Amino acid sequence: MRIELKTEIPGPRSRALMDQRRAAVARGPFHGTPIFVAKAHGAVIEDVDGNRLLDFASGIAVTNLGHTPEDVVQAVQAQAERFLHTSFNVVPYEGYVTLCERLNRITPGSFAKKAFLANSGAEAVENAVKIARAHTKRQGVVVFDHAFHGRTYLAMSMTSKVGYRQGFAPFVPEVYRTPFPYAYRSPEPDASAWALRAFRELVLHHVGANNVAAVVLELILGEGGFVDAPVPFVQELASFCKEHGIVLIVDEIQTGFGRTGKLFACEHYGVEPDLVTLAKGLGSGLPISAVVGRAEIMDAPVEGAIGGTFGGNPVAIAAALAVLDRFEADGGALLKRIQAVGEQIGARLLAWKERFPIIGDVRGIGPMRAIELVRDPRTREPDKAAAQALAKYCYQHGVVVLGAGTYGNVIRLAPPLTLEDAELDEGLVILEAGLSELGRSA
């Protein structure tokens, strides 16, 4: 058993730190749990009161290899002793080039590629759009309902949920939103056909295809609640973009590096986007992101037009290279293990759907799974309060989980992908008890 609770959750030291946080830290940054971490390893977080909790959130789908993996930590330590920073824009270093070479090789697409490194997911998204605009000399950017692309101005303008946008208008112009094929909430039985019709209507008759620089898509909505786009939708979208000279940007920031059981979610869809954005799992906890794609598109911005002081930090690059080593080791054994984890999670969640009428929908791909909670399975009215109560029950009993979804009624599972069977089971037992506790079991 990994979970060990010595105090109530949150314990006294976490509570005291939360008081200090309220006084010293701006209200804006949210926190999904009221505990403060002291240290973390593997799938276990130890808080400042000495409680041990299982982490099914991975710092928002980042620590895919678990906390403090030895190989990553060693690579980081070794690089920290060599040099911390020169700025790639001043005195370049080999690691930046090596990481780009490796990303060019492993990302989907059998064409010549180039890559660019930045610090955060939002920065990758911003730069992907800049690159697409420079290449096409067009302005329009088409995004989808329920999408999340970050919090900087352009990325926020591309993000759907009002909670991330409230009070920040005016937004960046030339961003157009169209329905995501969200099967559970589609007004028509064929979500794919419905969303494609709306997309074509928008692009062909309202924006004009020759004004659209890029379509930016999450194949599986992350913050939007782990909703997977149907394969035909994605394939049709890709051929539409190709036909009209529109750059297809797939945002793999949350889905990348094993989260769906493949290195990239694109591999489930048989599509080769022009550009992909990567972050989160790439650095195993160190801030690093990337845009990777067709060489001729990536080369559109002139020298000095993209970059930044810290982009592609050498210590973060060392972590990323160690992450890639791990995925490539032993003929891809890690991905096979991750797929097995995904199957176990999928089977458990489907069984829960039979038992708990509060679960309206179970979905996702591989280990990237979520449950959507509803007041009544017939009306599908979202039950945000239940999701909040379930997340609270979980951390109070030693499991950290994350909410998600435009209506706040989704619980997503994003454990470290390296967790052991016993750890997975221990965490799922708590979640299951939480669902029973909600008092709605059949």
Binding site residues, ligand PLP, CB under 6 A: 60, 120-122, 125, 148-150, 218, 222-223, 251, 253-254, 279
Shortest separation between residue 165's beta carbon and ligand PLP, angstroms: 14
- Alpha-carbon distance 114 to 131, whole Å? 12
Q: Toward ligand PLP, which CB reaches closer, 14 or 58?
A: 58
Shortest separation between residue 222's beta carbon and ligand PLP, angstroms: 4
Q: Toward ligand PLP, which CB reaches closer, 248 or 253?
A: 253
Shortest separation between residue 130's beta carbon and ligand PLP, angstroms: 15
Using CB atoms, what's the residue nearest to ligand PLP?
Answer: 121
Shortest separation between residue 155's beta carbon and ligand PLP, angstroms: 6
3-class SS letters over the chain: CCCECCCCCCCHHHHHHHHHHHHHCCCCCCCCCCCCEEEEEECEEEECCCCEEEECCHHHHCCCCCECCHHHHHHHHHHHHHCCCCCCCCCCCHHHHHHHHHHHHHCCCCCCEEEEEECCHHHHHHHHHHHHHHHHCCCEEEEECCCCCCCCHHHHHHCCCHHHCCCCCCCCCCEEEECCCCHHHCCCCCHHHHHHHHHHHHHHHHHCHHHEEEEEECCECCCCCCCECCHHHHHHHHHHHHHCCCEEEEECCCCCCCCCCCCCCHHHHCCCCCEEEECHHHHECECCEEEEEEHHHHCCCCCCCCCCCCCCCHHHHHHHHHHHHHHHHHHHHHHHHHHHHHHHHHHHHHHHHHHCCCEEEEEEECCEEEEEEECCCCCCCECHHHHHHHHHHHHHCCEECEEECCCCCEEEECCCCCCCHHHHHHHHHHHHHHHHHCCCCC
Shortest separation between residue 1's beta carbon and ligand PLP, angstroms: 31
Q: Toward ligand PLP, which CB reaches closer, 175 or 386?
A: 175
Q: Toward ligand PLP, which CB reaches closer, 40 or 216?
A: 216
Regarding beta strands 410-413 and 402-404, do their DSSP bridges make them parallel or antiparallel, or are they unpaired? antiparallel
Q: Toward ligand PLP, which CB reaches closer, 148 or 352?
A: 148
Sign of CA dihedral 111, 114, 119, 125: negative
Q: Toward ligand PLP, which CB reaches closer, 126 or 423?
A: 126
Shortest separation between residue 126's beta carbon and ligand PLP, angstroms: 9
Shortest separation between residue 413's beta carbon and ligand PLP, angstroms: 15
Q: Toward ligand PLP, which CB reaches closer, 279 or 345?
A: 279
Shortest separation between residue 120's beta carbon and ligand PLP, angstroms: 4
Q: Toward ligand PLP, which CB reaches closer, 386 or 414?
A: 414
Regarding beta strands 44-47 and 37-41, do their DSSP bridges make them parallel or antiparallel, or are they unpaired? antiparallel
CA nearest neighbour of 408 among 435, 381, 376, 379: 381
Q: Toward ligand PLP, which CB reaches closer, 152 or 396?
A: 152
CB atoms within 10 A of CB 42: 19
Shortest separation between residue 357's beta carbon and ligand PLP, angstroms: 30
- Alpha-carbon distance 160 to 168, whole Å? 13
Shortest separation between residue 61's beta carbon and ligand PLP, angstroms: 7
- Alpha-carbon distance 54 to 46, whole Å? 9
Q: Toward ligand PLP, which CB reaches closer, 138 or 280?
A: 280
Q: Toward ligand PLP, which CB reaches closer, 44 or 253?
A: 253
Shortest separation between residue 252's beta carbon and ligand PLP, angstroms: 8
